[in-house]
Amino acid sequence: MSQNQRYSLPIIALLLSPLAFGNEPLSSLEEVVTTASRIDQQVSDVPTNISIISDIETIGATHINETMQKTSGVWISRGNGQESLISIRSPVLTGAGGCGAFLTSQDGIALRANGFCNVNELFDANSEQASRIEVIKGPATVSYGSNAMHGMINVITPDITDPEYFSFEGGENDYFRAKLSKATENWRIDINGTSDGGYKEDAGYDQQKGTLKNTSTLAGFNTTTVLSFTNLNQETAGFISGTDAYKDDDLKELNPNPEAYRDSTTVRLYSTMVKELSSGTTLVLTPYVRHTEMEFIQHFLPGKAVEENGHDSIGLQSSWHKENWRWGVDAEFTQAYLEEFQAEAITFNSFLGATIPQGQHYDYDVDATTLAAFIEYTKALTDSVQISLGARYEYVEYDYDNNMLSGRTDDQGLPCGFGGCRFSRPESRTDDFKNFSPRLGITWNVSDQSQVYGFVSKGFRAPQATELYRLQGAQTVSNIDAEELDSIEVGFRGSNDRFAYDLSVYWMEKDNFIFRDSNRESVDNGETSHRGFEASVNYQVVETVSAEFAAAYAIHQYENDPLLASTPVSGNDIDTAPRIIGSARLNWQPTEKLNGQLEWIHMDEYYTDPENLHEYEGHDLFNIRAEYQFSQQFSGFLRVMNATDTDYAERADFGFGSDRYFVGEPRTVYVGIRAAL
């Protein structure tokens, strides 16, 4: 890819964006958010970036990536069905612990326990019926600790008083979805169910999600209790292979893995308890319990083993807020398990058949403990300048118990040919990790309508359990430590009656990047850099027309030569790291009853291997949304996704000597009705 191609588009787009576009996730400086400090505060009091997506029903996403397109610097790479991979100021991170770089949560409670993330975990949140989604890009580690390293996505459930409605919609490939939101004085229920036949062969899914919310008073605490559940039963389609295979009409609809499936169930129960104490202190306590279980075929690996995993957690978040001080203690205790079983022997390749044996590969339990304490102090230096200084200390311990034979053998204790079995099971053991993350932030109110903000911060994540105990090759112990990320950011944001903007630049360096090297060993000697510019703008052009824009230009590079490839990679772009991602929307409401939106999604070209020898050419997509209000109670809506019927890949990579693609769906039309209750 040429240097001119890399730089011309972002420069033109970012220079023109304040003149013509805007971004709905932006808010006025007075808008209230909760993610940064766990209590309500105005955007102007947050010394970091924070994006808000509140038009969830208008977007009508069938996958959360359609919603997250509206936030600059964020890309949720869509897999098949409801599967996904996350990118926040980062490349799309894959592998056992890639998901550990991001914290995903609902009402501030992590969707998965610390140390047990799953790359697809965003389908554990009821994002389809959220009141809003708040996003912090870069470290958010004073309040949230491990995993909130590259960023955080927090799905906020509806308030009791939010609108009540019922909606039903249908689309191509036997797609149907129903939503119901109903409330009383102290109770609210939001449930939805989806059935999708799938664009590809043998690749549909059924999904159910719901939240039940209650508000009450308990022992002087104003208490909000939420019961949340999700269930997914998916027939999964794998990637297709071959150069530009996603453009081939004979290949696009094929499912190379009709046997693949994924079943996932989650339940969470939590209460946010707020009390004003006589000392002028606000006390916030959030006890919670969590249950997850998942089963799927590893269709992307030669043996196509079945994995079963899950965990149960109990935890407590606590914080005290008094004048300029905020401090708290968090604790979480988890019991987790993982099993992997291969039902049939590999017969198509003698080497793979010998080194990947039939039978049980892994069977282990892990008891995990996370204890953390944090403190933050805020002080006004002048009438317009405020600083905040905070830090978090976190301790994570894993007590691992191997339930089968240890070592590099099959499940009967027999050695494998061709140098040994692929799978290695360490002896039962205990590991612990300690991390300290300081943060310094500043806000300068240039005027009543504009503000400069900035921060210096350290993020971290402890190794995930699978990185420590799901070993391969000759490795018997995974001697890895926590990843660490140093971040500096400066931003400029503001708003008035017609215009809102947030412009930011950042620089991040990551050490101890954990990956599986070419010897199939889990190591932590990777170093990467991440630097970029983000722009988000909102503009009310005239009374009936508004425009939105969100774009990011970023460079993500290897800073050393880890054993990821046969040649040096230092200075190369990290694979699956486009330098430009962006979106724009033009909103039109010609009458009180009719409104429409034209959306443009841009994905830049990117390399698909660490050597930077193969690449995906990028794409541009156009979506159309419209809604008509038939009466005070009833409305109808229409969505046309990929309106120009563009051939594209949701994600591309290069592996096993071939280009591989998750194919994007062709033009798809959805229609539905909504009734206010």
pLDDT digits (tens, 9 = 90+) for 389-421: 999 999 999 999 999 999 999 999 999 999 899
pLDDT confidence bin for 14, thresholds 50/70/90: very low
pLDDT at 455 over 70: yes
Averaged pLDDT, 626-632? 96
What is the Cα–Cα distance from 485 to 487, expressed in whole angstroms? 6
- Percent of the chain at pLDDT > 70 equals 96
pLDDT at 1 over 90: no
Instruction: Supply 642's token pair.
Output: 């990929």
Give backbone dihedrals phi and psi of 189, rounded to 5 degrees, phi first: -130, 135
pLDDT at 17: 37
Residue 189 near residue 173, CB atoms below 8 Å: no
pLDDT at 103 over 90: yes
pLDDT digits (tens, 9 = 90+) for 240-282: 999 999 999 989 999 999 999 999 999 999 999 999 998 889 9
Instruction: Identify the three-state secondary structure at position 30.
Output: coil
pLDDT confidence bin for 514, thresholds 50/70/90: confident
- Percent of the chain at pLDDT > 90 equals 82
Q: 175-183 and 649-655 as β-strands: parallel, antiparallel, unpaired? A: unpaired
Q: Which CATH number fits domain 3-676: 2.60.120.920, 1.20.1060.10, 2.40.170.20, 3.30.70.270?
A: 2.40.170.20
Averaged pLDDT, 87-110? 91
pLDDT digits (tens, 9 = 90+) for 123-167: 999 999 999 999 999 998 799 988 889 999 999 999 999 999 999
pLDDT confidence bin for 367, thresholds 50/70/90: very high
Q: Among residues 355, 358, 353, 354, which one has the least CA distance to residue 340?
A: 358
pLDDT digits (tens, 9 = 90+) for 561-619: 888 777 899 999 999 999 999 999 999 999 999 999 999 999 999 999 999 999 999 99
Locate the DSSP E strands across 203-281.
205-218, 221-235, 240-241, 261-276
Amino acid letter, residue 649: A
pTM of the model as a whole? 0.94
Averaged pLDDT, 184-207? 96
pLDDT at 97: 75
Instruction: Supply 534's token pair.
Output: 């983000």
The residues facing 442 across adjacent strands are 387, 454
Q: CA dist 362 to 213, 312, 491, Å?
A: 39, 19, 47
What is the Cα–Cα distance from 490 to 506, expressed in whole angstroms? 7
pLDDT digits (tens, 9 = 90+) for 542-552: 999 999 999 99
The residues facing 619 across adjacent strands are 603
